[in-house]
Amino acid sequence: MIKQPRWVNWILKDSRKIPTNPTTGTYASSTNPTTWSDHQTAKQHGNKLGYMVGAGIGCIDLDHCLHDGQLTEGASIIVSQYQGNYIEISPSGDGLHIWGTAPEQAGFRRTWQGQSVEFYSRARYITITGRTWQKGQLLPL
């Protein structure tokens, strides 16, 4: 992921995380690569990093799945299916991002076993915190 120029920064506005172009500081678009940058540039312009999924990289987003450091039942089942994948804690501290490889396809949002689950592999950005929940690799999602 670090080698791909799909990096952005983000700002918090009205409780939403808005992606910004690391070079200009203006809003970044999930469908316009000219508004993204390389990892080093994004890192130099702030510690709030994001990644535009696509080009074979996807992410499963589990919201509100950590309570006092423990996984909800639904999240525990999902996470157990990705034991070799890199997983990090979201900026809120109560969610997880499961990173991996995936063909570009339409994303989805649904509830499974009481757990909010989102999946994206194109035209979307996901925040990056570096707060590792599980060490791993980019394995198939």
> Minimal CA–CA distance to 126: which of 63, 74, 78, 45?
63
pLDDT digits (tens, 9 = 90+) for 2-22: 999 999 999 999 999 999 999
Structure tokens at 57: 């990289």
**What are the strands of the beta sheet with 49-53, ordered from one edge?**
16-20, 7-13, 49-53, 124-128
63 and 15 in a single domain? The answer is no
Cα 29 from Cα 26, distance rounded (Å):
10
pLDDT digits (tens, 9 = 90+) for 14-71: 999 999 999 999 999 999 999 999 999 999 998 899 999 999 999 999 999 999 999 9
The residues annotated as belonging to the active site are 61, 63, 97, 118
96 and 73 in a single domain? The answer is yes
Whole-model pTM: value is: 0.95
The answer as to whether 1 is a domain residue is: no
Domain range for 106? 57-122+131-140
72 and 136 in a single domain? The answer is yes
36 and 69 in a single domain? The answer is no
Structure tokens at 62: 């589990």
